[in-house]
Amino acid sequence: MGSIKKWIGAALCVSLVMTSCKEEKDPLVVPSAYDGTNYTANTEAEYNLRSLFKVLVSEMQKGRTEGTTLTYDVLKLFYTQGSPSLMNITTPYYSALIEPQDGYLYELAKGSGALYVPGTPIGQGGTFNGYLFDENGTEMEQLVDKGLYGAALYHYAWNLMQSEVGSAEVDQLVAIFGAHPSFPNTPTATKTAYPDVYMANYAARRDKNDGSGLYSQIQNAFIRLQAAVQAGADYNQERDQALAEIRLLWEKVNYATVVNYCHSIISLLSATNPSAVDQAKALHALGECIGFVHGWRGLPAGSKQFTDAEIDELLALLNNPVGGASASYLFVTDPVNELGKLTQLIQKVQVKFGFTDQEIIDFKTNWVSAQGR
């Protein structure tokens, strides 16, 4: 009997050892560069969306020229054309702000061709030193353009992540982020054949090109994601970790850019008697802030760090409350009492993402321009 017990014990030990061996796996091997072998073939739809976006923005920007009139039906066509169209990939919440005949595109067309002077809202808006604003001093072009960075492009990426992410989907995520397998870390066409666009462009601007910034971090996360997917199902945990990191970094880039524009507005309007040109630049930067923030409202729960309720707080600080009247012009007409709201917004962003004081300072700089890259 004793020998049988010993045999059973030994067999159990062997079984445990074999089970343990089965559960062990080699660490994920992560290459130094992204493999772009099948990138072009995998990303035709995403590049078509990028092109549609470019055409829409180009048409909207025509309204910046004094005396040029935009047509709502044409703007709507550019937003709704294609398969998929930009409208198809936009959150229902934000599309309902853009597309209807009382939405952002309509207001953009309505203000075109006229002139605008910041002050008590009257009239229909118009151009003011190179930008087109509505009667409240809000740049509808930016609410569409930068709003779609979250409501359309990031929304598209989030939906890709809900599928079984394979090699093709990894390429598609890189493309809709606005990057390329070469990850040039510059939007400057003279520096690379594949300049960064959309959120990748802003990631490059926020990156000091020292290998540790937001652009480098998300580049490395994409490389790890591709490596995990190519390594197979045993590395699904590493795949999911990389996806979570990409989502977080994407949102960090978005809000680091909001901080950049808040710094710019404060600087421009804190000056004694800012010029009309500086006032227009400040309202333009404010429009970008509003778009970058508002576009993330209505995205699915779990896809982002800022909740919709917290986004509402940020929009209120930008004088563009959800469901309320916009008062963007107040930053120009009453900067002494209004600019403190932007400091509050910066603090909320810093707390949410744990940015250091130095990072908040660094976000003031467009590092692409500062470094000539």
pLDDT of residue 120: 87
The dihedrals phi and psi of 61, each to the nearest 5 degrees, come to -70, -15
- DSSP string for 279-307: HHHHHHHHHHHHHHHHTTTTPPTTS-SS-
Structure tokens at 179: 């990057």
pLDDT of residue 122: 87
pLDDT of residue 19: 45
pLDDT of residue 8: 46
pLDDT of residue 13: 44
Strands 126-128 and 131-133: antiparallel
pLDDT of residue 29: 97
Nearest to 52 by CA among 121, 144, 174: 144
Q: Are 186 and 369 in contact (CB under 8 A)?
A: no
What's the whole-model pTM score?
Answer: 0.93
Residue 184 CA to residue 178 CA, distance in Å, equals 11
pLDDT of residue 23: 63
The dihedrals phi and psi of 264, each to the nearest 5 degrees, come to -65, -45
Query: What is the residue whose two structure tokens read 């353009």?
Result: 145
- DSSP string for 226-243: HHHHHH-GGGHHHHHHHH
Q: How many CA atoms lie within 13 A of 360 on its CB side?
A: 17
- Strand, helix or coil for residue 128: strand
Mean pLDDT by 10 residues, the chain (373 residues): 49 45 81 98 98 98 98 98 97 98 97 95 94 98 98 98 97 98 98 98 98 98 98 98 98 98 98 96 98 98 96 98 96 98 98 98 98 97
Q: How many residues does the chain have?
A: 373
Q: Are 39 and 181 in contact (CB under 8 A)?
A: yes
